[in-house]
Amino acid sequence: MYPPNPRHPRSISSAIKMIRFFNEDTPYKLPQKQAVRQWLKNQAGQEGFAVGELNYIFCSDEYVLQINKDYLDHDYYTDIITFDQSEAADKIEGDIYISVDRVADNARQLNVSAEQEMHRVLAHGLLHLCGYGDKTNEEAAAMRRKEDEWLTAWNS
């Protein structure tokens, strides 16, 4: 079960099939939204998936922490939580919650731009929906390689 969000109720949005961006409790503005949408669709296509309804929700550390507690029984901060709503094996649908606070902190720690780190996290969530995991060292390494590959495609 995914957390309900009144800004994108499924009963209204089910006819709209696209990648959409929302803000929950933080005023984040994603640059180049249309180009990012196309990049994500292209990368999903390279993995053999079509994108249906995909919602990215930008929010605070506290908002993501509460989702982590309420829906995943985890009590820690994270940069991203992905809820898979896909019904067809070759079509991606879901909700991806991104902590803007955590992304900014990660960017500082990794000595990369906040925009580059946001693109990595956007890719990370979609890669989860493509079937990539990150629980084991091997999965995490494969995820990182794919993130790097996708970031290369974004930057080219």
How much is the pLDDT for 35? 96
Average pLDDT, the chain: 91
pLDDT tens by residue, 51-70: 999 999 999 999 999 999 99
pLDDT at residue 16, as a whole number: 52
The sign one gets for the Cα dihedral 10, 83, 125, 92 is: negative
Report the pLDDT averaged over residues 82-107.
Answer: 96
- Phi, psi dihedrals of residue 99, rounded to the nearest 5°: -80, 110
- The answer to whether 134 is annotated as binding is yes
Rounded to the nearest 10°, the torsion over CA 39, 95, 14, 38 is 0
**Domains by residue range for the chain, with CATH:** 12-155 (3.40.390.30)
Q: Is 61 labelled as part of a ligand binding site?
A: no
In the DSSP assignment, the letter for residue 25 is S
Q: Is 90 annotated in some ligand binding site? A: no
Confidence of residue 11 (pLDDT cuts 50, 70, 90): very low
Q: What is the pLDDT of residue 17?
A: 67
